[in-house]
Structure 1
Amino acid sequence: MYQSDAGAAPSSLGPETLPALPRSERGWTWWVGSAITLAVLIAALVQLAQVDFARMVAIVPAGIGFWAVYALSYFAGPLGDFIIFRRLWQIPASGFLALLRKLIGNELITGYVGDLYFYTWARQRTGMTSAPFGAIKDVAILSAMAANIVTLILMVMAYPLLDTLHLGIDSSAFTWSVVLMLVISSGVLLFRKILFSLPARDLWHVTAVQMLRVVATLVLTGWCWHLALPAESWKLWVLLSAMRMLLSRLPFLPNKDVVFAALAVFMIGQDAAVGTLMAMMASLLLVTHLGLGLLLMGSEAAGWRKK
């Protein structure tokens, strides 16, 4: 998949062998990062007023097992990114909080806003590589590729279930979705020498971590669904997982889980319990994004006076 390129930029080398980034307390990266922080704060406050907390609390499972699995599923993504950038840049523990802000920015506003925030965060750290955009770009592309591969596998598994579950879904939509993802993935592989900046060994490492991240998040989310509704068939969870993964491939759609919940309710409206579960999970994820977003972005905004 990847080949070593003698001309590739040594983006993964330690800070002792690369020029440090210039430190700027009020440079353009600070202003962009601050603007994104404010945007996330505003988005969190606006969406917070729309959450029906009473309805959500009434149907959230009370067992500790559900909450443990939910926490693992939520933090699996930032943890995977932390492992990647810890290897590439030796980022400190505080980088995990920056990666949480990245996740929340992508979810609350729109895709890749969080990546832009993380780019500004990396540019302000003198111990990072002198060209952080290349690494962030490569990680984002490989994240999408890993998600595409898992989505394709899920859709192949879900295809024979369309008729058995009698949900009235047009199988042609699944077919065209598979074709589109195959075309996109093939294009990335075809132009990999132009698209990627990291050395081959780092690309393989990033790909492995991203695959593990996607699979872990998928399994843990399905486990949450099972803990909440253990009587439902695994076939339904496979189909819903395929739908959720497919919807997540839309890069500029905020609150994907809310949209997914609405789509799931529309598709399986005859199953009130499942529809209620999807709506509850979407609300729970949104509240988690909002709560952590307000806490993390608020703490960052409070620290502006110290700079």
Structure 2
Amino acid sequence: MSVAEVADAIPASPAPPPVGAPFGTALTRLAAPAMSIAILAAAMFELHAMDWHAVLAMVPANPLFWLVFVAFYCTPIVAEWAIYHRIWGIPRAAIVAMARKTVSNDLLFGYVGETYLYSWARRAGKTPGIAFGSVKDVALLSAAVGNSATILVAVFTAPLLGRLHIAMPHWAIGLAVVAVAAPPMVAILGRKSVFHLPGTLLREITAIHIVRSTSGIVLTALMWHLALPEIAMSWWVAFSALKLVLSRLPFVSNKDLVFAGATALLFGHHGNIATLMAMMASLSVAAHIVTGLAASTSGLIEAAAARLRRVGASRDTLVA
């Protein structure tokens, strides 16, 4: 399906009123540079707080670990690019924008990346209806696939979860199940009224999200296995799946304590597990810092170049 067919399939938004148009254009123009500055500030803050010597001391010397880590870190970014390349036909250079989206969601707060992506799409010439509808559909499908994976994993890890003795009343468990199951049910039952993208494209996006979720579990387990090879890969896969379930369950207080209990249940009191988890968390933050600095600097340079082009065009118009 071509980009033109996608554009025809998405209902066009009504034209904005003339009075608000300059404000909307200015807001869209300023959103991306503001996001780049916010990412840069967050990266600098994390850079100041990071104990680089401690992080590097914990990292395994095995070069295969680094290859797997790069694949793990780049998978969400590449998946986002593949999705929007399929929707909008974006070039390879747009992967920088996808990196900004991913980093802003992790370094700042959730869904700020989607806001940035909407403003980026508007600056790239997409109409409000196409930009908002596409970003919304991708976000809903991501939540639906992620929560569906959580439900499936929870079924297989139910015996382990039962042995953790999570202190939750039955009504809270029911609410947690409803909260996790809601996005997939909305995606299935309300797909005709909720989604704007064509069905064929929605299925392709869903497939990409499934590959992304599965790859995340497997690559995470493989990294842990390379760091602590004395623990079998199968145990790491179970641990990675259990971690996914605990991270997505709402209404569960003290998730860190529950996660620590899961660690002790699966591996006993293995002294290196806590060190490994700390190393992986620090390494992820370090990767976000490097990516955030590079992506935000690139974004500010792009904004400055665009500003210079607009000034030059205005001067040419005045001269003419």
CA distance in structure 1 between the partners assigned to 2:256 and 2:291 by the alignment: 21
Q: How far has the Cα of 1:192 moved from its partner?
A: 2.3
Paired amino acid for 1:111: G
Which residue pairs with 1:44 in the alignment? 43
- TM-score, normalised on structure 2? 0.78
Q: How far has the Cα of 1:91 moved from its partner?
A: 0.3
Deviations 1:209-252 (A, max 9, x none): 111111112211111111111222533541343323542577xx
Which residue pairs with 1:224 in the alignment? 223
Deviations 1:102-161 (A, max 9, x none): 000000001111111111111111378862110111011101111111111211122223
- TM-score, normalised on structure 1? 0.81
Which residue pairs with 1:268 in the alignment? 263
Structure 1 or 2: more helix by fraction: 2
**1:243 corresponds to 2:237:** no
What secondary structure is seen at the aligned counterpart in 1 of 2:49? coil
Q: Using a 3 Å threshold, how does the CA distance of structure 1 residues 198 and 238 change in structure 2: closer, same or farther?
A: same
Q: How far has the Cα of 1:40 moved from its partner?
A: 1.1
Which residue pairs with 1:121 in the alignment? 120
Q: Is the 8 A contact 2:96 2:295 kept in 1?
A: yes
What secondary structure is seen at the aligned counterpart in 2 of 1:132? helix
- 1:12 is matched with which residue: 6, 11, 15? 6
Q: May I ask how many residue pairs the two structures share in their alignment?
A: 284
CA RMSD of the aligned region, Å?
Answer: 3.3
Q: Is the 8 A contact 1:37 1:297 kept in 2?
A: yes
Q: Is the 8 A contact 1:261 1:275 kept in 2?
A: no
Q: Using a 3 Å threshold, how does the CA distance of structure 1 residues 91 and 76 change in structure 2: closer, same or farther?
A: same
CA distance in structure 2 between the partners assigned to 1:209 and 1:240 by the alignment: 20
Q: Using a 3 Å threshold, how does the CA distance of structure 1 residues 246 and 34 change in structure 2: closer, same or farther?
A: farther
Written as runs of structure 1 = structure 2, the 5 A alignment for 1:127-166 is 131-162=130-161
Deviations 1:174-224 (A, max 9, x none): 955444312442234332222111011111111111111111122111111
- Which runs of 5 or more structure 2 residues have no equivalent in the other structure? 16-21, 308-320
Q: Percent identity?
A: 30
- 1:170 is matched with which residue: 157, 160, 166? 166
Q: Is the 8 A contact 1:146 1:207 kept in 2?
A: yes
What secondary structure is seen at the aligned counterpart in 2 of 1:160? helix
Q: Is the 8 A contact 1:261 1:278 kept in 2?
A: no
